[in-house]
Structure 1
């Protein structure tokens, strides 16, 4: 156990993550650059607790997808406001591809995480699924990205609560994802409203 209080890394990750989500709710491209930084910080935090799935998901999937999303968002500004991204309707074909990919990745990661003896294997595996959905929908500029993120937040609240029971230094990560959850719900409402305005 490292101690009862939060450390600088978890607080920095919380600050960067919350700021990223506030900007994401507004469709601001800077959210993706902050998500790149958050992915690195969160990867290190996950490494310290041996949450290998979280580390691999954020460094190997969320970080590259945030880079890709940043490029996509920069190339697709809203006609009414150049500082925000143009929202795109999710097509049935894209939804099927994302769903199929999620099933394949989840199945593969279950065995990888089990081989690494990842703590809280079931929640770690589900987190891979929700994390992939959130990242893919963000990259596709769909308003449903926020629901994917909110689902991922709920899984991570459970995952890090279990970690905080063993070491209280991880308690700020739980608070971080609780704030993420509320902000992602706001993000969904905000994006749906802007989607209606952009298509009007």
Structure 2
């Protein structure tokens, strides 16, 4: 009986420690995102604009019950009106932006350069594709573009825009890519484009 109580106590303390660590990482991310929003002069909207038109620095905090955490969406161009169909539409995505979690070491990225192939996925499978976007060599883990940048948070923009759309996003790690989830960091996408395949 004493051994069972001791094991229960150890498991409880271990799980609490993990929860506190996760909570502290979320707090650190929230502070970084709030600082980023303030520095950029971003206005956070809690309702999607009725006419679908965003002001220069307006970002809609997606609150449709389908995301885990926080995704901020700014629509630059809503596309041609042709919407993606869950489980059927082949999507080609390119993006640029920066990993801004630590402002003194912000790392820019750009998948619009000619030698970079677009990230390809079927609408509704971003989480699955991202989770497989890495390989291991020796004792090191390396992420592919989909493992770095494709995420349910990025994919959520397709609920609001169509083919040939361009958006900007801030994606927090709980809705992020495989690499974001591992590193507990947000990513700012200054430009994401969606093209549909055949």
Same fold (TM over 0.5): no
- Of structures 1 and 2, the one scoring higher in RCO (CA 8 A, sep 6+) is 1
Structure with bigger helix share is: 1
- Report which of the two has the higher share of strand: 2
Larger Rg: 2
